[in-house]
A and B are shown apart, each in its own frame.
Chain A
Amino acid sequence: MLDKNGIARRIAHEIKNGMYVNLGIGIPTLVANFIPKGIDVVLQSENGLLGIGPFPIAGEEDADLINAGKQTITTVPGSSFFDSALSFGMIRAGKVDLTILGAMEVSENGDIANWKIPGKMVKGMGGAMDLVASARNIIVAMQHVNKAGESKLLSTCDLPITGLRCVKKIVTELAVIDVLPEGGFYLVERAPGVSVEHIRNSTAGKLVVPDVVPEMNPD
């Protein structure tokens, strides 16, 4: 089973040289720590930056330089600033190669719900609906089951939808799963020490299991 850093480390392997990538808040933010050396990527922050760098050294924080999670950050050489319309323009136009975000539920046809729980305080969708409606490739980082032990991989989402038929891949503490174009969760890899049976019991939607399911490379 993977911890949060393990999920982030596995997703980092999906990032290819030359990509522009948008990382959501939570586990997706951790992915930046695991991008392999020699892989040249540019991270987009939808509040208006291409080229997110590491957190600043204490004392060098700049209130005018934050990421979409409102955290103080730095820039890397070759970065650029722009306004929010251009930021979502490049997202809508499909210029961002990969979007990694969290989810409350994903359905077997790739629908995602991640912005609203009826009856609870609703804070808003921020940029999530724009990202999922336009991104060329979306990877979801999330726990396989919720706190009540119920599967978050469903036949159809119960919670209000953020976007339709958009998720391509899901990485959880248990497995790597591809969403098949014709519908269904295709089991690509098991997390270390996790059985196919465990994954099957934790997946409410249609799980497609090939004859051989390799165990994830822990590195």
Chain B
Amino acid sequence: MNKVVDNADVAVSDIQDNATLGLGGFGLCGIPENSISALIRKGTKGLTCISNNAGVDDFGIGLMLKTRQVKKMISSYVGENEEFERQLLNGELLVDLIPQGTLATRLLAAGYGMPAIYTPAGVGTEVALNKEVRNFNGKDYLLEHAFEIDFSIIKAWRGDTHGNLVFRKTSRNFNPLIGMAGKITIAEVEELVPAGDLDPDHVHLPGIYVHRIFKGHDYEKRIEQRTVRQA
């Protein structure tokens, strides 16, 4: 059950061009920094990236946009970077915008082995175009399909050698959901401990969903909006 690999480069080594990736994080919070750097070193191209956001110009998925490795983004909120906007307006990048809860629940469905879900989000909007609408108890819902993801790349706070993961504060966000939806899931952690060191009651994502785990290093953990109050 030992899922440990040496580093990010080893973890992403078999990700091929045109793969569909899921990436954890909300904004720049809880993003898999080490794996993104490794994908840039590897130069994998034509990627479809399922991620709530697309990073900023010089951090996160924004770095992979700059190196032109991304063919398509599937996200709920994007455009916090100029390069993204330039590629989108020039038709160099495809973008699917979907409601945040729909994104989360399509991932959940994949991890729960369910082919689809019904959600009211987007009924009566352009999101509903060409989708099945079904009425339950007097309210309309859209049929939305579970995601199919080749490689999921996530970041946790602590993990053990079996791949059990614990997340920290709001950096949990999409990470366990992306993690449960991947055919292959790669987890990078700030602290890697032997199996048995995590309290089983405190595990957020069981290791059965995780195929590779490594201890990341040099986390920048950039803050997008630093807001403070006077003491």
Contacts and interface: CB of A to CB of B under 8 A. Distances in A.
Given A123-B78, A125-B99, A130-B121, A63 B29 contact: yes
A166 B113 CA distance: 32
B174 A83 contact: yes
A90 B222 CA distance: 29
Contact of B104 (A65, A85, A129, A134): A85
A69 B221 CA distance: 17
A15 to B, nearest CB: 21
Contacts of B80: 123
B26 A160 contact: no
Interface string B205-231: 000000000000000011111111111
Interface in A180-217: none
Interface in A3-21: none
A129 B122 contact: yes
Interface in A135-173: 160-164
Contact of B77 (A49, A72, A111, A125): A125
Interface centre among A70, A124, A127 (most CB of B within 10 A): A124
Given A81-B169, A82-B172, A130 B99 contact: yes
B115 interface: no
B105 A70 contact: no
A160 B126 contact: yes
Q: Is the interface of A mostly helix, strand, loop or mixed?
A: loop
B121 A134 contact: yes
A121 B95 CA distance: 12
A174 interface: no
Given A83-B176, A92-B120, A129-B121, A70 B101 contact: no
A30 to B, nearest CB: 13
Contact of A85 (B28, B105, B157, B223): B105
Given A58-B231, A66-B225, A92-B120, A46 B100 contact: yes
Interface string B96-128: 010111111101100000000001111111110
B79 interface: yes
A88 interface: yes
A54 B227 CA distance: 10
A61 B228 contact: yes
A88 B80 CA distance: 23
A196 to B, nearest CB: 32
B163 interface: no
B225 A130 contact: no
B221 A127 contact: no
B22 to A, nearest CB: 12
A125 B231 contact: no
Contacts of B120: 92, 133-134
A111 B31 CA distance: 35
A99 interface: no
A162 B167 CA distance: 32
A164 B231 contact: no
Given A92-B101, A130-B121, A124 B173 contact: no
A57 B231 contact: yes
A121 B173 contact: no
B90 interface: no
B75 interface: yes
Given A72-B228, A83-B173, A63 B222 contact: yes
B32 interface: no
B183 to A, nearest CB: 19
B221 to A, nearest CB: 4
10 contacts: A45-B170, A47-B170, A49-B169, A54-B229, A83-B177, A92-B119, A122-B79, A124-B76, A125-B99, A128-B99
Interface of B: 26-30, 52, 75-80, 85, 88-89, 97, 99-105, 107-108, 119-127, 157, 167-177, 204, 221-231
Per CB-CB distance, the 6 closest pairs between chain A and chain B, nearest first, are: A88-B101, A130-B101, A63-B221, A133-B120, A84-B104, A124-B77
Interface of A: 45-49, 54-58, 60-67, 69-73, 81-85, 87-89, 91-92, 111, 121-130, 133-134, 160-164
